Structure 1
Amino acid sequence: MNRRDFVKVLGVSAMAGWASLEARAQAAVAPLKELADQKRLMFGSCLALKYFNQSPAYKELFLSQCDIATPELHMKWDSLSHQAGEYDFSNADQFVAFCAANRIKVRGHTLVWHDSLPAWVKQKISPETAKTMMLDHIHAVAGHFAGKLYSWDVVNEALDPGSQRPDGLRASPWLQDIGVDYIEQAFRATAAADPKALLVWNENYLEVSNGFGDAKRKAMLSQLDGLLARGVPIHGIGLEAHLRSDQANVLGDASYEVFLGELAKRGMKIFITELDIQDTSLPVDVGARDKAIADLYRKFLTASLRQPAVRGVITWGLSDSFTWISGYRPRKDGLPVRPLPFDANCQPKPAYYAIAEALEAAPRRA
């Protein structure tokens, strides 16, 4: 891709501020999916199709950068079903069709989670109904998309040391109403419904090397050992990696790399699944903020990608124009947040180049 094409892909007019754009383009690297592919990795982002209607430039950006995508909302339970036994797959089908037409792999997200439950599930769930509800949902959704997706996040955020349980499991409705074997049942049911998909346990805070993160890592490895010993079809672990700028000292250290090695020893494929960096504690100055965020992207991804079992990096958004952090954790000073590799105008930021550098430094997968 030449410099002018790169600028065009970013949705920027080559007639305005050409000198500064030329400087950016001269420093530009190949699209992230191409850099990843050179190392037999995947690069992608979450996506809601409505963003394309709001910004044609974002569509061009997404297509230029991504070869794998996660539906931000389209496959969550409360997006699919508003009444018991009834499903509307129209938006999710459109998402899958778009990705198929553009040769983009799809990560199904997510089947069993304590959050994003429809009101009717919350009303009806009980020890008598929970197992049937969970299995029926897996059969309906994974069965509907059977053979069309690269992977499924089968269970999501199932660990929580704060629950004060010896096994580290989250005190979710599924645990409380089904029991500790709900994870095993969920994976077996998904394997039966969609036998070609890679089955992933997606989890948060495993990246953080502190007391809470260490407890999560210990619980994850213990749970995996038991499940794998029983032949449960778990193929991969997703590390969400919703990171904060104030976590720089507890990310990407040796203990994290040891943990990734332990997952690899257990035959797990590893994915960074929801990567972004909150900037709420960083200075007002955009240059200082962008540098701090880029440094953290570089540190975390360099450590992560040294492990050959890591197979893909998926950010939770590409451009600052579409990020959940704007509503979830806005800056107190009211300034726009800048957590992603491209700014609100789809122009590359220092974070973009930091991600590119980490991909270029990664060993090539066998």
Structure 2
Amino acid sequence: MNLPRRELLRYGLLSAAGAGLAPLIGCGKKTSAPAPKQAPTREISGQWSLRSVAAEHRLLTGFAVDPKLLQDPHYVAVVREQASLIVPENAMKWGALRPALGQYSFEQADALLTFAEQNRIRLRGHTLCWHRALPSWVEAIDSAQEARRQLTEHIQTVTGRYAGRMHSWDVVNEAVEVKDNRPDGLRNSFWLRMVGPDYIEVAFQAARAADPAALLSYNDYGIESETYDAEQKRSAVLLLLRRLKARRVPLDAVGIQCHISARPMYSYGPGLQRFMERVREMGLQIFLSEMDVNDREVDRTPGRQDVEVAQTYSRFLAMALEERAVTAVLFWGVDDGQSWLRYENGRDDQTRPLLFDQNLRPKEAFYAARAAMETRSTPSKTGL
């Protein structure tokens, strides 16, 4: 199979430097799948690692990683064993890379890339353009021309530094906000106010010019559930994607963040499936890009909490992985102790939203996620 480098990256063929509380409804036609291998109940290494199981079903998988934790040998061992793809949670955001006007700080980002390349793990970049995590000097810009120049220069400098070594980039993150009441559905962000609606196109064009090989992704949240708000958001994101495709903007993938919930009011199913089908029809890949399970309202009886989180992972992934355009599953953190949900809306040390506990021991969620990957029908090698 003679494919260009971006296609090899696409298909992962090129190494780079009980009832749950959140039922899934209308999961659609089931596809036949080979019977899963009978894994030892608690074995998680070698052929039973997430990395190996995912690879058998043409998936990349891994975690958001904090480069500062790469000094912890236990943390490193988990990432090495389980991940084929990692992403920095914060180390490549503007606030981390751009401490002052005219200055760049690449130490943490460089360290993460070195680790990835040394361990034959692919690396995603997150994120080149976002309305949050901006240093104060950026928000003080008062000229449209200067804002456009800084956006373009930042993207060209950052992607250019790592050109040819990245699996993909979240080029634009969370650009849609229906509640801002714009006809185009775009968020009334700093970049929109200062540059205009074409800032999204500017960002993608700059990224492609600086790194022709990496997959370029649009990433967003709040499009997963069967709620009115989620349906409105899905429609607005599809509108954006169609505009970008019509203008031949270089776009390869869509990241669905998958910050899902185990709360009984949420269900996941046909709305998301229709959205993913529309994305595939545009010729785009889908990344489940920031997955975790909010467990604030589950039964926290010892043992029951982990079961309910695992059931939510199981049901969501069984549905989402039916879509053959899904090529990557990333969990937003390695262990519960580092999850952003610990600090969201007040500190919660009892939350257990990830696959490993704070002592880096696998939980029921790990086995549920692995089982969902094991039973996935393998997509064709010839296309999405």
Same fold? TM cut 0.5: yes
- Distance in 2 between residues matched to 1:67 and 1:240, nearest whole Å: 18
- Distance in 2 between residues matched to 1:52 and 1:194, nearest whole Å: 27
Structure 1, residues 289-312: CA drift from partner, whole Å, max 9, x if none? Answer: 111111111111111100000001
Deviates more, 1:186-195 or 1:286-295: 286-295
Question: How far 1:265 sits from its partner (Å)?
Answer: 0.4
Please say if residues 225 and 266 of structure 2, whose CA atoms lie closer than 8 Å, have aligned partners that are also in contact. no
Task: Report the 3-state secondary structure (helix = DSSP H, G, I; strand = E; otherwise coil) of the residue aligned with 1:114.
Answer: coil
- Distance in 1 between residues matched to 2:70 and 2:241, nearest whole Å: 39
- Distance in 2 between residues matched to 1:213 and 1:118, nearest whole Å: 30
* CA spacing shift, 1:209–1:152, aligned 2, 3 Å: same
Give the one of 263, 273, 276 matched to 1:260: 276
Give the one of 313, 317, 321 matched to 1:305: 321
Q: Aligned residue for 2:128? A: 111
Amino acid at match of 1:241: C
Amino acid at match of 2:43: A
**Percentage of matched positions with identical amino acids:** 37
RMSD: 1.6
Q: Aligned residue for 2:60? A: 42
Greater RCO structure (CA 8 Å; 6+ sep): 2
Q: Aligned residue for 1:145? A: 162
Structure 1, residues 212-245: CA drift from partner, whole Å, max 9, x if none? Answer: 1111111111111121111111100001111222
- Distance in 2 between residues matched to 1:247 and 1:266, nearest whole Å: 33
Structure 1, residues 104-163: CA drift from partner, whole Å, max 9, x if none? Answer: 100011000000101110112442421111111111111111111110100000011111
Q: Aligned residue for 2:11? A: none
Task: Report the 3-state secondary structure (helix = DSSP H, G, I; strand = E; otherwise coil) of the residue aligned with 1:216.
Answer: helix
- Distance in 2 between residues matched to 1:307 and 1:222, nearest whole Å: 20
Task: Report the 3-state secondary structure (helix = DSSP H, G, I; strand = E; otherwise coil) of the residue aligned with 1:271.
Answer: strand
Question: How far 1:247 sits from its partner (Å)?
Answer: 5.9
Name the TM-score, length of structure 2 as normaliser: 0.85
- Distance in 2 between residues matched to 1:207 and 1:293, nearest whole Å: 17
- Distance in 2 between residues matched to 1:31 and 1:187, nearest whole Å: 35
Task: Report the 3-state secondary structure (helix = DSSP H, G, I; strand = E; otherwise coil) of the residue aligned with 1:249.
Answer: coil
- Distance in 2 between residues matched to 1:349 and 1:260, nearest whole Å: 29
* CA spacing shift, 1:249–1:73, aligned 2, 3 Å: closer
Amino acid at match of 2:322: R
Question: How far 1:57 sits from its partner (Å)?
Answer: 1.4
Structure 1, residues 294-352: CA drift from partner, whole Å, max 9, x if none? Answer: 11111111111000000010000121122111112456xx5521000111222211111
Name the TM-score, length of structure 1 as normaliser: 0.89
- Distance in 1 between residues matched to 2:142 and 2:171, nearest whole Å: 19
Larger helix percent: 1
- Distance in 1 between residues matched to 2:289 and 2:153, nearest whole Å: 26
Q: Aligned residue for 2:257? A: 240
Structure 1 residue ranges, 4+ long, deviating more than 4 angstroms after superposition: none
Please say if residues 68 and 108 of structure 2, whose CA atoms lie closer than 8 Å, have aligned partners that are also in contact. no
- Distance in 2 between residues matched to 1:111 and 1:288, nearest whole Å: 40
